[in-house]
A and B are shown apart, each in its own frame.
Chain A
Amino acid sequence: MTQTRRKFLKTAIAAGSLAVFAAGYAPTLMEAVKPEYVELLSDKTETDPGVSIIHSVCLACNSRCGIRARVADGRLIKVDGNPYHPANTLEEPLAYSVAMADSFSSAGSLCFKGQAAIQTLYDPYRIITPLKRDGPRGSRKFKPISWQQLINEVSYGGKIFSDVGEDRTVMGFKDVRSADLVDSDAPELGPKSNQLVWMTGRGQDGRVDFIKRFLIAGMGSINYHAHGDICELNYFQSHLLLTGGAVKDMKPDLKNTVFAIFVGCDPYSSYLPGLNFAGSLMATRASEGSFKYVVVNPKMPNAATHASEWVYIRPGTDGALALGMIRWIIENDRYDARFLANTTLDAAKRNGESAVTNASYLVIWSDGHPRNRMFVKAGDVGLEGDKNKFVVIDPAGKPVLYDSIDRGALLYEGDVTNPITGAAVHVKTAFQLLKDNAFEKTVGEWAAIAGIPEQTLISLAKEFTSYGKKAAVTYYRGMDSTAGSYAALALDLLNVLIGNINWAGGMMKGGGGYPWVTGLYDLSSFDGALSAKGVKISREGFDYARTTEFAKKAAAGQNPYPARRPWFPLAADTLWDETLAGIDSQYPYSCKILVTYFADPLYSIPGGITYASTLKDPEKVPLHISIDITINESNVYADYIVPDVTFLEGHYSIISPQPLAPSKISAIRVPVVEPLVSKTPDGRPMCLESFLIDVAKAISLPGFGNNAIPGKDGNRYGLNAPEDYYLRGLANLASNAHVSDSSDAEASYVEAHHYVAKFKSILSPAEWRKVVTVLARGGVFEDPSNGYDGPFVRDKMTATLQIWNERMATTKHPITGQFFDGTGRYEPVKNMKGELVDSKDQGYPFKLISYKLPIHTQSRTINNGWALELQPENFVEIGEGDATALSIGDGDTVRITSASNLAGITAKVKVVKGMIPGTIAISNHYGHWEWGSRELAVKDAPTAFLGGEAVAKGDVLAGNLARGRGTAPNPLMRKDDSIGLTALHDPISGCASFSDTKVQVQKV
């Protein structure tokens, strides 16, 4: 090779190398030469110019944590926690006296769901104009209509569906409002107005009050139905049973508890208080070593992370666990007899307690006695004094008036003779009755029912009774089984046995909030307001024994039992499943108008999908109006869909979280951005309130329009826009909580940045200055340390705790006619006829349970893209042993069938370690078949949805398949075929069962 050739070759190699390098790195070089900067709105911080900070309350779930919204250019860019709100910080929240401007450097925590709610706000599938059905029910065809057409048609009714070829005449709101009896033969059912039935999915203080103003006080219908039965109903039910109706909600004082047992709940996913309070507090305290807890669940909950133990339990057997613990505690004298024996609250106070029980009260236990199962009263046993006073046994073994001694005997069974009549009556103490239930089986037998080793149950009982008053048992939605009320009550009674009620570190009812409905303005009543009369279509809160149906059967010499469908006189909350069953069976009367608000019952009720035929049937549901943000599995059958605002642009509320602190918390929800829905002709956002106001005005309902709200000053004020109501509520709150006037700086900040400041003229300048203080901080928050009173919490439960609940014990099952028990007990899964269900379902070897993920809320977060990024679909989770036995592995597809769904559903398998054998779990949230998951016919679709052309073209709304992935567990759930229509229910509360379905799993 010559020198020249070598040089040439070298040059060529060098040049070639450089060229290859340049080719490979061209994009990098170009980017370096001409960088493209994109200024991200999300990078803006609290103190950047042009950024608005709005404190409000989250509704990504029902935990009611505070939020801090960061808004730039009118767009919500970030949601964080509100550092003033006790739910958003483990440490002390910011003092209320700290100025808003000084709060910007403090942070509040917020869970994923709240942060992802931006995507709920900007969901392109949100409806922004009123829609009307454009074909037969269920044809999945809609068309946009004007606001005025909507109001006219639903208000006055008539042949409003002639446009789709239906000749029937439909009653509007005006015609349905009637004081005439719905059934003149059965006057107890109330007026025809009750044929207006309202179902609320997620209701909260504020909007619920507004709805009831329209529905009950305005229209005169009793039929307001929240979704209690498919939620935490048995949690409320047992507390109300325990406190004789005084307290619905109680929780451990988590900041001071030393030991806690969490049954059927997961504070690291979906407990109330929410994840960023309860979950983080537990994690922190458990890691520090100042708190220890055990989780009891068929599926290992996320909270097992820091738990000292995960006790796995068979679904629906919590009552057995509780009774086993009660038996061991009684046998080993580990209960607080000193506390339980107190006969009156005064006696309890003298003995260093702040709550009292009826443990020592005598109960008549004598079949055939007219007052059998009731408390012995002085008159029953001939004691002198007030004949209506309870009777206890004194240390000498004699019956005495309960308030004549401080402590009564706890365990007593025997005959008490009336010295006047000489008649003897067999009696037991309330505590004895509880003991009898607990001693029905041995500790080992109870443990075997629950699927727990006996020793585990005993250690749990031992440890629980080792921390004095600073231990607690708490539970949540896991009590949704057919004997869930009994089980939950039995768990509550464990708290009572150690006497932790009202103690710091024990169970508390929480500090609640400040009143806002009354004060400067009276938002609770108005001239011409009606009250709810009669019976709900779900038959809750009314005893079957008081009905005409009962009386007629009895008069005809028939056994009045069973009732045609169940009645729930003891129900603590409202029932959805039986509402739809009542509508379907037109029992006890028919429905004329159904309004579903923020609701997706077909997806959310166990087996609710069967109500599609009910909603399709114009005979059963002549007019169906939905008020919602999207088209879901249920309102796809509606005649009209009214667009609504999300909680980030309206959905006003003044609300306290479930007990997380013993101090007062009244957080407020206000719009953080201007509503994105269309405006009414007079410029109000199209939403729930505008709709109700306009319908009310159209049919001249009292309580709406001009002069609707009485002021304390004697004047009357108008209710023509949402803010007319809620701003006055805020003024009441500020006044009742004695809030100080805001500073000038805060007033100018709020006025410059808050959407609601546009409406400040509704209030007087003096009222507005106080409201500004509340708006700036997102509510009124008392210093949490004020919530304690020495060793106790300040706001105490003082109603007598019912170890024996006489009302429950004397109420009869509406179908079997048997008495309910009066205290905690265990029962296997039964249908309404009292038949054992598991023995009918023997071909189905697995129990199915469902649960919530920490990144989702019920049916309504499938639009949060971040959540789908984290987990695009759900699975059926199967324990390792069961999976091996079935020869299935991760990613396999299986068909799951149940006695109520023989065709079954398919699901993708995930094999997990944390599951009790014989149980499978499917999370909620996924497996949608509407919610934008598939194409829908909507005329001029781009004008009807927030995403416009991005999701719609011509007359078609495009489907987003990502929203339909995964599996919904509810279509599999066991229906109660002994009465039809509904799922299995707890006959006491009406709570639907999510824990009692047996299924079969087969590899596809």
Chain B
Amino acid sequence: MTTPQLVASLSDSTSSSRRSKDTLFLTVLWASLLLALLTLAALVINTLISGASSLSWNFITFFPSPFPEDSGIQSALFGSLWVTLTSGVISLSLALGTAIYLEEFTNPDSRLQRFITVNIQTLAGVPSIVYGILGLAFVVRGPLGWGFTVGSAAATLTMMVLPLMIVTTREALKAVPSSLREGSYALGATRWQTVYRQVLPAARPGIATGSILGVSRALGESAPLILLGALAYVSYNPTGFDSDFTVLPLMIFKWATEVQDEYRGLAAAAIVVLLLLLFALNAVAIIIRDRSRIKW
């Protein structure tokens, strides 16, 4: 509607047609809202119904097995732990370095900053499967040749999560008021001293929340790892970075494609565990964010 039309309709005195349009509109909005809420409800309920019977302490401590009755997810849990923690640590370090460099040591609006920023935005928009291809070509085969191991998976997920981490750490650094920095300079500190002793500690909650977001993204990712050959039957926890592995989302994928009904329950139970883990991670992030709300 253009402004003249809007103004014209406002002086339109047939208020009942306006009101019925209003109600219709509101109904459409409620329907949209319901779509989202019902999806969430259906997801949760469907999963709980299928999976509740398979959930047990045994489910977490057992390993996958050709016999569904004593299958469990221990190797997938530890595999996920190894892969996501490693990629979280490495990508956080890289992201911090990049963010500090961009925020503290380059001029805003410089061509370098804009170039790197555009680059990172592009990377953030790349589908996750393409990172899988990158991992397959460079890390699994190609120059590094690490094969289908924990190391390859961690490297691939690091690359995938890095853009997100860079964005969130930059936001965290940006949120630190410049008065803090300027006070530090006034006292004679160098730029690096300022960053290291003032800015970073102040940005810590933001960085922590950002890294938890990155880790939960890595935890739930399945597409790139499909290409990294993690669909095998692996019934032991990773023994090192050169070990075979499996992760929770792939365990779910594998069990979801099995035809026997018992596996459907296992897949649903594994989904419950995955969702609980993600929920716990997010709760921690929220707690950190709320607890450290410093008043500037």
- The yes or no verdict on A and B being binding partners is no
Binding site for A on B (CB under 8 A): none
